[in-house]
Amino acid sequence: MHFRVWRATRRFAKMIAMRSFPLVAGLLCCLASAPVWAQELHCKPCWHSFVKVQIGDSSSFSIQLSNTGSKTLRITSKSKLGSDFSFGKFPLPVQIEPGASVELPVIFKPVARGQATGVFTLVSTALDPRLTIKLDGTGVYPELAVTPPTLNFGNVTVGSTLKLEATLTASNAAVTISSDPSTSPEFTLLGLDLPVTIPEGESLSVTIQFTPNASGTASAKAGFISNAADSPTIEQLTGTGVASASHSVDLTWGPGAEGIVGYNVYRGTGQGGPYQQINTALDASTNYMDSIIVGGTTYYYVITEVNSQGQESGYSNVAKAVIPSS
């Protein structure tokens, strides 16, 4: 009983073994004759960010398309989503040999501020017929900032000047300043040779001068006209003109020798000269008042004698006068 079962089992195993070989051979045959698709389209990169592009300008980039298979493929159509993006020159159809590459130019030209996205699709004869490329970018306006936003010159003597500096900074893109008007002649902008361009992220110093022509508070605006979105960029200006203190120098001297008909008065700002005559006519008296002076200055005076023949003596001894600044 057990012997028969063994023999039957043995015969069944032998039958299975004999029949399994044709089955495997047939499977190998079918696999060998199956078609091998050798057309593969790849992109490098498949995503690109244009980062920041000024509105009204455009930026281009090239995507590399490669056939990594062993048979020639063809790109037959193209499409896109996103109004800020466009194809560069890429006429269809395009044929790519095995191992070869072509460049796909793409362009970002923002029409509004903020981030934009785009999707480019290529249809080809590759195994995966649709290739998707994603793009993004940010549209920006150039901006110009001025610091400090207000310049306060404080008290400045009428007729004198004070200079302060402000800093102009460009952001998002380069900024070109074309004009810098001031609303008051008492405030003058110095040091800008216009037009001038400030590169993105960089700064430029500008000097502003206050020259009050009357006592009292003066205010104005300096406007920097540029291609920035916030043009004109305004700098607030303020200052107070104060009247200069009234100072004069009174000079007296002893009379000269007989025959002297008058005297000349000379003034200098350095010990030992040079000296310049300040009286407009021969002074017959022995005193003189100098009222055309500047506060905070030290003056040196000398006198000469003139006789009836018009002969002039040498300089007298030197008199020094220190004028207060206020």
Of 137, 132, 133, which Cα lies nearest the Cα of 117?
137
- Quickly list DSSP for 63-96: EEEEE-SSS-EEEEEEEEE-TTEEE-S--S-EEE
Q: What is the pLDDT of residues 5-14, one digit of tens each?
A: 334 444 444 4
User: Are 105 and 87 within one domain?
Assistant: yes
Host H or E run for residue 12: helix 2-33
Q: Which residue range is the domain that position 234 belongs to?
A: 154-242
d(CA 322, CA 274): 17
pLDDT of residue 6: 37
| pLDDT band (50, 70, 90) for residue 25 | very low
User: Are 256 and 284 within one domain?
Assistant: yes
User: Are 283 and 314 within one domain?
Assistant: yes
d(CA 99, CA 70): 7
Q: What is the model's pTM? A: 0.53
Domain boundary among 106, 140, 174: 140
11 is a domain residue: no
Q: What is the pLDDT of residues 232-242, one digit of tens each?
A: 999 999 999 98
pLDDT of residue 205: 95
**Residues 216-231, mean pLDDT to the nearest whole number:** 94
| pLDDT band (50, 70, 90) for residue 296 | confident
* Domain tally, the chain: 3
170 is a domain residue: yes
β-sheet bridge partners, residue 321: 299
Of 122, 169, 179, which Cα lies nearest the Cα of 149?
169
Contact criterion met (CB below 8 Å) for 171 and 142: yes
